[in-house]
């Protein structure tokens, strides 16, 4: 009896082993099947070509690249003539990559060239079969996002730790320029932000577009900011709090961001450049590296954009009948006489032109035709929102306030990371 049971058990075991063996073999045979996966890039299936990628070197031209790859000059000329209206081959940027597509047969010259000057644009020229050129601008998607953080050291580092675009640092510093000293943020200060960011290919960021709403809890004080367009014709956008009060002043504190004052307005200052003699200094010097953008501190009309031996490249802006400002020693001017500039517009870049011993912008301020120290003036508030627009603003602001109030200070992914790190640390202990 026992023997019969043993035989039955062995038979059943063999049967199950056989089934599992069959399934295994079936799976093995299916896994050996190779599926062709096309690699479509720039309108070509790159699997069908031998792709050579190189970088633009100094002195390279479109013609020289083709000639180096066995395309004779008469053919190069024909290609340029057929494609010059579609593709600008004259602007090749040193260091940028280009691709040459070769047939996988014995032909040594390329079939096409692809060049991408930036992440959102590329052009291609096909040399064989039918010669044609094409410049393609990739679609840009603007996505509304939320972010938040709790300050531990600096705002910039908090942005990085929270997985946010570090450009938000500069946007927030501009919005809260008159209400928060970002060099004196305290540990435990909090912020929330609703913003839009530009993307290409759904994943490559082209930078922050704008901030729709922001919240800062600084030293226990709550500070809201909501974007609102106050002048459609001039495209003037301001930020207001929950009570429709403008966060900006008529003038920015400084014409450059994150700079330091190297020399203040001083009528009795001794200047080393002039042999340590007393020379009145009727401006405020903001030290910054060469190339730093210089901003108009208030909206107005450019009345001078010129060069003198002492001032170097400089710009003068008349804001109204009371106030004017001037910006000296620019590397280069961006505006011309007669241009209208808005507060925060870039009007030039920091340089060392004129009489100067280091890179900075000398910021000069006139009130009623007399040069004064801007930091000792009771400067006017920014233009308040009109009664006509206030109702429209509040209707726009209320749902935005509800939305930003609901944003958690620590996003879910950040909580997950913190909890994971805690588990790892506890396990190691």
- Greater model confidence, 243 or 230: 243
Q: What is the pLDDT of residues 365-417, one digit of tens each?
A: 999 999 999 888 887 777 778 888 899 999 999 999 999 999 988 655 444 44
d(CA 7, CA 142) in angstroms, rounded, equals: 72
What is the predicted pLDDT for the residue at 250? Answer: 79
What is the predicted pLDDT for the residue at 378? Answer: 80
What is the chain's length?
429
What is the predicted pLDDT for the residue at 6? Answer: 42
3-class secondary structure, 13: helix
What is the predicted pLDDT for the residue at 307? Answer: 97
Judge contact between 364 and 294, C-beta under 8 A: no
d(CA 229, CA 289) in angstroms, rounded, equals: 33
Q: What is the pLDDT of residues 109-156, one digit of tens each?
A: 898 999 998 888 999 999 877 899 999 998 899 999 999 999 988 888
Q: How does DSSP assign 58-97, residue by residue?
A: TT--HHHHHHTTT--HHHHHHHHHHHTTT---S-PPTT-E
3-class secondary structure, 307: strand
Measure CA 227 to chain center: 19
Q: What is the pLDDT of residues 259-297, one digit of tens each?
A: 778 888 776 666 666 666 767 778 899 999 999 999 999
* Residue (of 94, 88, 77) closest to 135 by Cα position: 88
Q: Which domains does the chain have, with CATH numbers?
A: 41-137 (3.10.450.350), 140-249+387-429 (3.10.450.350), 260-376 (2.70.70.10)
Full strand arrangement of the beta sheet holding 97-103 = 49-55, 97-103, 112-118, 121-126, 132-137
Q: What is the pLDDT of residues 353-369, one digit of tens each?
A: 998 889 999 999 999 99
- Greater model confidence, 252 or 195: 195
- Greater model confidence, 27 or 114: 114
What is the predicted pLDDT for the residue at 272? Answer: 62
Mean pLDDT of 147-174: 88
* Residue (of 142, 217, 204, 221) closest to 172 by Cα position: 217
Judge contact between 194 and 213, C-beta under 8 A: yes
Q: What is the pLDDT of residues 174-219, one digit of tens each?
A: 888 777 877 778 889 999 999 999 998 878 888 999 999 999 999 8
Judge contact between 10 and 18, C-beta under 8 A: no
Report residue 388: phi and psi, to 5°: -65, -40
Measure CA 126 to chain center: 33
pLDDT band at 351 (very low <50, low <70, confident <90, very high): very high
For the chain, first and last CA: distance in Å? 59
Q: State yes or no: pLDDT of 163 exceeds 70.
A: yes
Q: Where are the alpha helices (DSSP H) in 177-275?
A: none
- Greater model confidence, 108 or 309: 309
Q: State yes or no: pLDDT of 308 exceeds 70.
A: yes
d(CA 7, CA 89) in angstroms, rounded, equals: 83
What is the predicted pLDDT for the residue at 232? Answer: 72
- Greater model confidence, 257 or 100: 100
DSSP secondary structure letter of residue 409: S
Judge contact between 309 and 329, C-beta under 8 A: no
pLDDT band at 341 (very low <50, low <70, confident <90, very high): very high
Report residue 84: phi and psi, to 5°: -65, -25
Q: Which residues contact 46 (CB under 8 A, 6 or more apart)?
A: 39, 40, 101
What is the predicted pLDDT for the residue at 134? Answer: 92
d(CA 182, CA 226) in angstroms, rounded, equals: 19
Q: What is the pLDDT of residues 75-94, one digit of tens each?
A: 899 999 999 899 999 889 99
What is the predicted pLDDT for the residue at 271? Answer: 63
What is the predicted pLDDT for the residue at 32? Answer: 63
pLDDT band at 73 (very low <50, low <70, confident <90, very high): confident
pLDDT band at 104 (very low <50, low <70, confident <90, very high): confident
What is the predicted pLDDT for the residue at 34? Answer: 67
d(CA 114, CA 98) in angstroms, rounded, equals: 6
d(CA 58, CA 357) in angstroms, rounded, equals: 33
């Amino acid at each position: 009896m026992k023997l019969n049971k043993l035989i039955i058990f062995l038979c059943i075991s063999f049967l199950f082993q056989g089934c599992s063996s069959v399934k295994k073999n079936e799976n093995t045979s299916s896994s050996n099947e190779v599926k062709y996966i096309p690699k479509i890039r720039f309108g070509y299936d790159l699997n069908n070509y031998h792709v050579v990628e190189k970088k633009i070197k100094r002195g390279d031209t479109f013609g020289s690249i083709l000639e180096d790859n066995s395309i004779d000059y008469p053919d190069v000329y024909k290609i340029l003539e057929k494609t010059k209206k579609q593709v600008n081959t004259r602007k090749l940027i040193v260091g940028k990559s280009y691709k040459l597509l070769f047939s996988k047969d014995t032909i040594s010259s390329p079939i096409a060239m692809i060049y991408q000057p930036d992440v959102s644009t590329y052009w291609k020229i096909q040399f064989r079969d039918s010669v044609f050129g094409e410049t393609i601008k990739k679609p840009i998607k603007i996505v509304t996002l939320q972010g938040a953080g709790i300050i531990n050291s600096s705002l910039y580092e908090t942005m990085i730790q929270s997985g946010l675009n570090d450009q938000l640092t500069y946007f927030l510093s501009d919005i809260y320029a008159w209400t928060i000293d970002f060099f004196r943020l305290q540990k435990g200060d909090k912020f929330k932000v609703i913003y839009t960011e530009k993307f290409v290919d759904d994943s490559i960021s082209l930078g922050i577009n704008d901030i729709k709403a922001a919240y800062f809890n600084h030293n226990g004080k709550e500070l809201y900011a909501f974007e609102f367009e106050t002048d459609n014709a001039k495209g003037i956008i301001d930020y207001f709090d929950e009570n429709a009060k403008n966060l900006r002043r008529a003038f920015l504190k400084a014409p450059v961001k994150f700079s330091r004052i190297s020399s203040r307005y001083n009528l009795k200052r001794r200047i080393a450049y002039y042999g340590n003699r007393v020379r009145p200094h009727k401006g405020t010097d903001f030290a910054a590296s060469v190339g730093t953008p210089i901003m108009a501190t208030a909206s107005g009309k450019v009345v001078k954009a010129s060069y003198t031996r002492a001032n170097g490249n400089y710009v003068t802006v008349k804001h109204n009948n009371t106030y004017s400002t001037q910006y000296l020693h620019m590397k280069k001017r961006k505006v011309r006489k007669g241009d209208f500039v808005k507060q925060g517009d870039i009007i030039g870049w920091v340089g060392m032109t004129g009489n100067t011993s280091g890179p900075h912008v000398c910021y000069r301020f006139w009130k009623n035709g007399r040069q004064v120290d801007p930091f000792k003036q009771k400067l006017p508030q920014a233009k308040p929102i009109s009664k006509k627009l206030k109702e429209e603003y509040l209707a726009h602001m209320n749902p935005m306030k509800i939305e930003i109030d609901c944003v958690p200070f620590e996003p879910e992914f950040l909580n997950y990371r913190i909890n994971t790190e805690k588990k790892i640390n506890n396990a190691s202990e």
